[in-house]
């Protein structure tokens, strides 16, 4: 029944819709007369614990942290020019939400880049600020875990890159 696990206790992983979490254990539970092996993931920032069945881990998008090379690609994306489309905000918001929930650091970096406003640019709407902050937080959490620094330092690094672009 049990598949080979790609993860072990103490590993940092990325769950697409929640971001970076730490595996606190792998346990077996009996649910409705079926024995299920579960990966227990704790998301410190959200004060949440997620239980993902081992059998569904791959299909759910659960993955290891990005490689250094992948994070460098995401950081390079931040330096690029904004590609914000001139479509209605509701349509762009859906696209941005999908990119954030994909868990892909490059896609999240695109959202951060497109929604970033310099001091010389017009004010953002409330929903734009919310989405920008969500994307920035998600990217900063993964960068912090990859570089083994705290989230505040990672967020500061991202902000500096955005200002320099």
pLDDT (tens digit per residue) in 51-84:
999 988 888 889 999 999 999 999 999 888 887 7
More confident residue, 82 or 21: 21
Percent of the chain with pLDDT over 70: 96
- The chain-wide mean pLDDT, for the chain, equals 88
Predicted local confidence at residue 1, as pLDDT: 39
Over residues 10-17, mean pLDDT: 90
Query: What 3-state DSSP class applies to 6?
Result: coil
Distance CA 135, CA 137 (A): 5
pLDDT digits (tens, 9 = 90+) for 79-129: 888 877 788 889 999 999 999 998 899 999 999 999 988 777 777 889 999
Question: Which candidate, 112, 125, 113, places its Cα nearest to that of 82?
Answer: 113
Lowest mean pLDDT among 6-10, 28-32, 106-110, 155-159: 6-10
pLDDT band at 2 (very low <50, low <70, confident <90, very high): very low
| pLDDT at res. 5 | 65
The mean pLDDT value for 124-150 works out to 92
| 3-state SS class at 83 | coil
* Least confidently predicted of 2-16, 19-33, 122-136, 142-156: 2-16
C-alpha to C-alpha distances, 131 to 51, 96, 113, 127, 134, nearest whole angstrom: 26, 8, 12, 6, 5
Residue 21 pLDDT class (50, 70, 90 cuts) = very high
């Amino acid at each position: 029944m049990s598949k080979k696990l790609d993860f072990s206790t103490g590993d940092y992983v990325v769950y697409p819709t929640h971001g970076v979490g730490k595996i606190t254990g792998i346990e077996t539970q009996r649910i409705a007369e079926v024995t299920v092996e579960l990966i227990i993931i704790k998301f410190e920032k959200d004060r949440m614990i997620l239980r993902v069945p081992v059998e569904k881990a791959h299909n759910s998008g659960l993955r290891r942290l990005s490689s250094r090379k992948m994070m460098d690609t995401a950081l390079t994306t931040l330096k690029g020019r904004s590609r914000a489309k001139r479509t209605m905000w509701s349509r762009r918001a859906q696209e941005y939400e999908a990119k954030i929930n994909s868990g892909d650091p490059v896609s999240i970096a695109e959202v951060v880049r497109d929604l970033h406003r310099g001091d010389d640019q017009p004010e953002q709407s409330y929903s734009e600020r919310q989405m920008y902050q969500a994307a920035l937080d998600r990217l900063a959490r993964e960068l912090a875990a990859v570089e083994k620094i705290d989230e505040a330092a990672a967020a500061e690094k991202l902000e500096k890159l955005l200002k320099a672009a």
